[in-house]
């Protein structure tokens, strides 16, 4: 069982601009996430942020990333298209991708899924959320009970314009009357993608252990498998078969 190399990517703007967010995540929410994951000895964790050169996602970094965790919100448009395309190809070639909360509007998520993934309902009222487990046998639900409760969160509500998930692990209930598909698994190419809803920057969601447990579980789930070596392009007819003709 090899180590899993994880890169936690964060837009890292709110934390520097909004004192409330700064007080919750003084080193950025990427460091809160990375710090939790580093307690898992199988994970080798680094971070990257938007304002680094190449957004911190150089070839060298991507070559050493098994699973990429993505949080972005207000600066989706500043992510360069060539980086998005490079990350997309990495996912299709087997890299895991975990998209958090407002990352549903990130170019990388939209490009990989092909739909208007920014489209959903929302309300930033700090209301109670319960994430119900609908697939208790799924490894992303390891260690949970019936649901995860978050005291205060931004609401996201259906209709969420995503392709039907290959596996749906969580559905959220919100105090104000909405529901949301909050834990969505996809296979694309040979890579695995997990969308996980919670994590608005003005709430201490990534300090909540059950939330972090899910992200940790998802990292293990999304790690590349050995898989099969397949080829593409022009091929000859089956030779033994031809011999028999």
| Touching its own copies, residues 76-115 (CB under 8 A) | 88-89, 92, 94, 111-115
Per rule CB under 8 A, is residue 167 in the interface with its own copies?
Answer: yes
Per rule CB under 8 A, is residue 116 in the interface with its own copies?
Answer: yes
One character per residue 30-69, x = contact with its own copies (rule: CB under 8 A)? ----------------------------------------
Least Å distance between CB 36 and its own copies?
A: 18
Coil, helix or strand at residue 76: helix
Contact 29, 72 (CB under 8 A): no
Rounded Cα distance, 61 and 46, in Å: 9
CA 172 to chain centre: 17
Least Å distance between CB 120 and its own copies?
A: 6
- Choice between 58 and 190, CB closer to its own copies: 190
Structure token digits, residue 146: 């019936």
Per rule CB under 8 A, is residue 168 in the interface with its own copies?
Answer: yes
Least Å distance between CB 1 and its own copies?
A: 6
Judged by CB under 8 A, which stretch of 5-13, 50-58, 70-78, 116-124 contacts its own copies? 116-124
Phi and psi angles of residue 153, each rounded to the nearest 5 degrees, phi first: -150, 160
Rounded Cα distance, 220 and 183, in Å: 15
- Choice between 74 and 159, CB closer to its own copies: 159
CA distances from 186 to 8, 77, 123, 161, 195 (A): 19, 24, 26, 14, 9
Rounded Cα distance, 19 and 236, in Å: 64
Coil, helix or strand at residue 136: coil
**Bond before 159 cis per omega within 30 degrees:** yes
Least Å distance between CB 209 and its own copies?
A: 15
Per rule CB under 8 A, is residue 226 in the interface with its own copies?
Answer: yes
- Choice between 52 and 135, CB closer to its own copies: 135
Rounded Cα distance, 37 and 29, in Å: 13
Contact 71, 30 (CB under 8 A): yes
Rounded Cα distance, 102 and 100, in Å: 6
Judged by CB under 8 A, which stretch of 46-54, 66-74, 129-137, 200-208 contacts its own copies? 129-137
Q: Which of 54, 58, 142, 202 binds its own copies (CB under 8 A)?
A: 142
Least Å distance between CB 47 and its own copies?
A: 26
Q: Which of 35, 186, 205, 219 binds its own copies (CB under 8 A)?
A: 186
Q: Which of 58, 127, 204, 207 binds its own copies (CB under 8 A)?
A: 127
Per rule CB under 8 A, is residue 235 in the interface with its own copies?
Answer: yes
């Amino acid at each position: 069982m090899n180590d899993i190399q994880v890169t936690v990517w964060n837009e890292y703007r709110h934390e520097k601009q909004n004192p409330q967010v700064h007080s919750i995540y003084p080193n950025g929410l990427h460091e809160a996430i990375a710090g939790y994951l580093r307690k898992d000895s199988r994970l080798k964790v680094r971070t990257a942020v938007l304002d680094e050169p190449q957004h911190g996602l150089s070839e060298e970094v991507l070559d050493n990333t098994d699973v990429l965790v993505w949080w972005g919100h207000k600066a989706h448009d500043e992510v360069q298209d060539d980086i998005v395309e490079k990350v997309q190809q990495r996912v299709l070639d087997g890299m895991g991708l975990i998209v958090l909360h407002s990352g549903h509007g990130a170019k990388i998520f939209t490009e990989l899924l092909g739909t208007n993934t920014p489209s959903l309902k929302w309300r930033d009222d700090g209301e109670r959320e319960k994430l119900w487990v609908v697939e208790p046998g799924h490894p992303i639900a390891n260690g949970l009970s019936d649901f995860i409760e978050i005291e205060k969160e931004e609401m996201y509500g259906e209709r969420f314009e995503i392709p039907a998930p290959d596996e749906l692990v969580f559905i959220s209930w919100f105090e104000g009357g909405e529901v949301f598909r909050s834990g969505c698994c996809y296979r694309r190419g040979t890579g695995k993608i997990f969308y996980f809803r919670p994590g608005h920057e003005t709430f201490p969601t990534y300090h909540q252990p059950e939330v972090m447990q899910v992200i940790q579980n998802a990292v293990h789930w999304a790690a590349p498998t050995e898989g099969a070596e397949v080829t593409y392009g022009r091929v000859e007819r089956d030779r033994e078969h031809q011999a028999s003709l």
